[in-house]
Structure 1
Amino acid sequence: MKLSSSLTAAAVVSLSALGSVKAQQTQPACSSIYTRPEILSLTPSQWSNISGVLGAMQRDGWFAWFAYLHNQWFGQIHGNSQFFPFHRRFVQDWESVGQRYSGSFVQPYWDEMRDYRAPASSQVLTSNWVGGNGQGANNCVVNGNQGGWTMTFPNNHCFPRSFGNNGNPTSWYSPEYIQSIIQRDTTMAQLRPDIEYSLHGVVHINIGGDMAQGYSPNDWIFMLHHANLDRLWWQWQTSNNRMWVMDGSNYDNTQITLNTNLAYYNTPVRNVMQLGYGSMCYQYASNPLTRRDLVSSIEATLADTLPKGVLSTWFPDTAKVKGPVVDMVRPPSAVVTATPGLTRGSGIPYPAQMTEAWIQMHHYNKTDVNRVNNDARNFVIAMNSAGYKSPV
């Protein structure tokens, strides 16, 4: 999976056209760049290699080590602007350990938004990949690459999962809503809670088991999930010249800056800001499963179907680039009410929300959580009232 010793042409353009790079970048450019793929795009031999490495890492205690680190620093890396940069370094640190076992090891991502309507039916959560829900009184997972494992942190226990909603999690956040966040948010102080209190939280909660604990790296879905969140952050960074945007609060309530040290790693945030430099020698593959770029497909559908006012409110970048259709007034009969369990090609269902226990566990600000919940609900109402039919 290693690429050539130089960036691809597209990557060079995206990295060189970001403005103020020379002023902000203090890390050397990577001599080679590898690509993190979407998990379901892996070939059988690639998946076999990754599974073998993961088994060796479990045998040698690395799952326990990363679970310990995440649990130990839990309060410092959630609910503040450390969230994205810390987890970028954390996943890359994990990946670098895996590469000690195999030089071709990379950490894939799981594009969870593709499976947002019915998460439990995702191909990823089957015996051929990461396995499904736990079974029995202790919710032990018996299939997939971690099936039958005994985890050793914080104590010896079977590897568990406990899917939300009695084993059938309700809808997660749609790719349209996440794309709307990426387009609307201009600061880290906006982006971080909008992602952390939506997609980030509901995946952890609805996978359950160790994924719903401070030691969530016991479940390899943690790495798949946070690689995807990192990919979304990178998408946000490379749009509208936001590469070096770092603001908001640190865990000690001071203002975070590019020179603030990452929790645990004691290196400045700026060292992880730009992929392709320093130790961040990776890039992301687009999702190949839809046969065309998912974002482009969604943007085309949005621009073709949404009234001008709705498009410009929720998707300002798409409105500028694509050019919205003229505004129109729809009769009340055209309003579509969002309900759970909608099928492909229908309206967008209301997403699951974080539980009170999850909010308390993280000491989140309840007002901020409610703001994100209300924003997501208003988005669903706006999309469905406009008669939008999702291609996902």
Structure 2
Amino acid sequence: MKFFNIALGLTLLGTFVADCMAVPPGAEFVPVCKKIGVRKEIRSLTATEWQAYSNAVAAAYNDKWIDWFGYYHSRVADVVHGSSQFLVFHRDFINSYEDILQGYNPDVMVPYWNMMVDFQNPANSSVLGSKYLGGNGVGANNCVNSGLAGTWSLFPKDRCLSRVYNNGTNINSWYSPEYVTSVMQRSNTYADFRFNIENSVHGAVHLGLNGDMGTMHSPTDPVFFLHHVNIDRLYAQWQAVKPATRTYMYDGVDSKSVPVTTNDSIIGTSTPVYAVMRLGYGKMCYTYDTIKAAKGDASALVKRQPRKCIKRPSPATQQIIMKLPPKVLAQFYPSFAKGPGHPLENEMATISPHQPMAADACAVDFKAPPPNENMRGKMPLPSGLPDDWIKMQGSSVAQVRALEKAAYDMVDALNKANYLSPYMV
């Protein structure tokens, strides 16, 4: 057995070297997965897939696993947020959740919600419909009374799932696909990418839904996992743009401002950071539909799958943004300024915010609406994070305000260029 392990390690090491990948000590012995699942956008799940996922989540709830994940996250939140542990911890955390669900059904994969597509009017997303994740809370306790968790009683203190949209019956604008594309192209280090994502789209979604999502026991809201799977998808894509240098790139500091290394353990575990950094190896036996598509699997994405209810595709969004003035492209989209760029650093997808759930079996014909000309040059500013949230997350208020200003500068530049986002409806 010992000889076999050494031989396997040497084989994997050869694979790494062939890929010209910078591999930290120990990572060469992490085995290749025998089977790799694909995490999909929630709107692409068939009725059978959605029912299987819902049933597994319900079983996990009945066995108190949802409470456990909420409790555990609340215990370690102070040291995993606002530090380099943020992305790698949550990758491992989500994987543990997926493992629990697969104990009930081995074919279940946790989907992601591409909420950037819904950035202008998140509350109107079909994902928050009564058949899926439910909507805003109601009544004195702001209880969610529909969707996956509409009847749940949760940690702490056996209470309902709570949501309190941050704009009454609506949710303030989130960060757009245009902004996230800019982050993907401008972030050259792990520390930069982590900070930019954690303090923009990550925080905006938590605070937009609010209620339990605005607390450190937020995994009790089923949106949490779909949201963080989406964050992990962005991280995986950022890695895959330059796999030789980014797969094991891990810089920045921990919660005590100590420089991090890939030999550090994931908070609360004995798992070294390097063991969760490469998809398809060790316990990370999954990939994303977007990554499969980028590697030539044209059937991987719902947006590339003909669905009889979708009569007309959404506009070619990358072609639209490529028409921006050269100075704007160079400042906010350095890859586009040089050419088409890598597909995995481009979140300007063709999925529409109006796209129906595949699980609804295309009950009605869907026609992707044309861009709303009344919205030309009127992209809204994303909602900023309050000081108390920033401090709770362990981030610097001044640094987050600088990040937000850069986001506002991007929106202003696009509006001054009379840019019309295809996601403005």
Instruction: Give the TM-score taking structure 1 as reference length.
Output: 0.86
1:331 corresponds to which residue?
none
Residue type of the alignment partner of 1:313: Q
Aligned-residue offset at 1:19 = 3.0
1:157 counterpart SS class: coil
Q: Show structure 2 runs of 5+ residues with no match.
A: 1-14, 291-300, 307-312, 342-371
Out of 145, 157, 160, the position equivalent to 2:159 is: 157
* Residue pairs, 1:69-108, within 5 angstroms: 69-108=72-111
2:403 aligns with one of 372, 375, 379: 372
Matches within 5 A, 1:1-392: 17=19, 19-20=21-22, 25-151=28-154, 153-241=155-243, 242-286=246-290, 288-289=302-303, 297-303=316-322, 305-322=323-340, 347-392=378-423
Report if the CA contact (8 A) 1:259-1:268 is conserved: yes
1:149: Cα distance to partner?
1.1
What fraction of aligned residue pairs are identical, expressed as a percent? 38
Contact 2:24-2:248 within 8 A present in 1 as well: no
Q: 1:344 to 1:217 in 2, by over 3 A?
A: farther
Change (3 A) 1:177 1:49: same
Q: CA deviation at 1:36?
A: 0.5
Q: Deviations over 1:45-90 (max 9, x none)?
A: 1111111111111110100110111000011110010000000000
> Comparing 118-127 with 350-359, which one deviates more in the overlay?
350-359
Question: Which whole-Å CA distance do the structure 2 matches of 1:263 and 1:374 have between them?
Answer: 32
1:170-214 deviation digits (Å, cap 9, x = unpaired): 110001111101110111221111111110001001111111111
Shift of the 218–352 alpha-carbon distance from structure 1 to 2, 3 Å rule, reads: same
Counterpart of 1:380 in 2: which secondary structure? helix
What's the offset of the Cα at 1:360?
3.1
Letter in 2 for 1:360: K
1:348 Cα offset (Å): 2.2
- Judged with a 3 Å threshold, the aligned counterparts in structure 2 of structure 1 residues 343 and 193 are, in CA distance, closer, same or farther, namely farther
| SS of corresponding position for 1:171 | coil
Deviation of 1:111 after TM superposition, in Å, equals 0.2
Cα gap change, 1:296/1:258 in structure 2, threshold over 3 Å: closer, same or farther?
Answer: farther
Cα distance change of structure 1 residues 215 and 276 upon mapping to structure 2, 3 Å threshold = same
Alpha-carbon spacing, 1:290–1:207, altered in 2? closer, same or farther (3 Å): farther
Partner of 1:164, secondary structure, is coil
Structure 1, unaligned runs of 5 or more: 1-12, 324-340
Q: Are the counterparts in 1 of residues 376 and 419 from structure 2 also a CA contact under 8 Å?
A: no
* Offset from partner CA, 1:290-310 (integer Å, 9 cap, x none): 769x9994432222x111111
Q: Please state how far the C-alpha of 1:22 moved relative to its aligned partner.
A: 8.9
Would the alpha carbon gap of residues 310 and 141 (structure 1) be closer, same or farther in structure 2, given more than 3 Å must change? same
How far residue 343 of structure 1 moved from its aligned partner, in angstroms, is 6.8
Change (3 A) 1:143 1:268: same
- Secondary structure in 2 matching 1:167: coil
Tell me whether 39-48 or 223-232 shows the greater mean CA deviation.
Answer: 39-48
- Residues 191-243 of structure 1: per-residue CA shift (max 9 Å, x gap): 11111111000100111111111100000100000000000001111113422
Q: Is the 8 A contact 2:253 2:259 kept in 1?
A: yes
- Please tell me the root mean square deviation across aligned C-alpha atoms, in Å: 2.5
* Offset from partner CA, 1:12-38 (integer Å, 9 cap, x none): x9x985733597543111111000011
Tell me the distance in 1 between the aligned counterparts of 2:71 and 2:46.
32
Aligned residues: 360
- Larger CA deviation: 23-32 vs 96-105: 23-32
Normalising by structure 2, what TM-score?
Answer: 0.80
Deviations 1:241-266 (A, max 9, x none): 42221100012211111111110122
